[in-house]
């Protein structure tokens, strides 16, 4: 069943989500939620969807960067973003156990803030510890675009949106992104002026 994706301004997007226990994870209710979130993410289409985005304050997200989404992108863009297909998986109660010092800046968008994009600095590589859909502990190293997806979804589980981390002067409509910025180099240093009082 396709779920409604809530939009920015909904309080659930700004709450820290609740952790799930292994018995809760394997319950029919949560297993159904996972199936519905997968369908909703694919239908959007998106590469990740967190439970708060469907109105539920739970520490659960689904992730998948399908090969068919990548086929439409130029090879040089994929290489620059270190973007490769990521098979479907579920992360529950995730914790980022390691962040690299190296940061990368790329435009990012969100299904809960459609029609906009901005440059967001993110760690180039991370390691995430989480429970899978069977309640089993997992640890995954991630780099490039996959690391960005994980950081974005984990932010959702902690009540944060990409607009909290963006370089605010790069915030743009998707139409203007396509017209003015797509295919051009992304600044790797902050573009925001210092706060002045």
Torsion of CA 4, 17, 147, 101, to 10 degrees: 150
First-residue to last-residue Cα distance in the chain: 50
Nearest 5°: phi and psi at 160?
-115, 150
Contacts of 3 (CB under 8 A, 6+ apart): 36, 37, 40, 54, 55
Catalytic positions, written as ranges: 153
The residues, any chain, with a CB within 8 Å of residue 104's CB and separated by 6 or more, are 121, 122, 123, 124, 144, 148, 188
Nearest residue to 63 (alpha-carbon basis) of 5, 165, 146, 3: 146
């Amino acid at each position: 069943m396709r779920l409604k994706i809530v939009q920015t301004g909904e309080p659930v997007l700004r709450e820290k989500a609740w952790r799930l226990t292994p018995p809760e994870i394997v319950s029919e209710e949560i297993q159904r939620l996972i199936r519905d979130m997968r369908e909703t993410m694919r239908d959007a289409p998106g590469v990740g969807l967190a439970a708060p985005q469907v109105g539920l304050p739970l520490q659960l997200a689904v992730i998948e960067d399908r090969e068919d989404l990548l086929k439409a992108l130029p090879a040089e863009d994929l290489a620059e973003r270190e973007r490769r297909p990521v098979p479907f998986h579920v992360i529950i109660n995730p914790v980022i156990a390691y962040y690299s010092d190296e940061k990368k800046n790329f435009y990012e968008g969100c299904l809960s803030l459609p029609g906009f994009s901005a440059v967001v600095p993110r760690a180039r590589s991370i390691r995430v510890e989480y429970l899978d859909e069977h309640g089993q502990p997992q640890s995954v190293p991630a780099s490039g675009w996959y690391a960005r997806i994980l950081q974005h979804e984990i932010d959702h589980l902690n009540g944060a949106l990409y607009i909290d981390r963006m370089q605010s002067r790069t915030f743009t409509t998707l139409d203007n992104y396509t017209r003015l910025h797509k295919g051009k180099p992304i600044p790797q240093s902050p573009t925001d002026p210092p706060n002045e009082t």
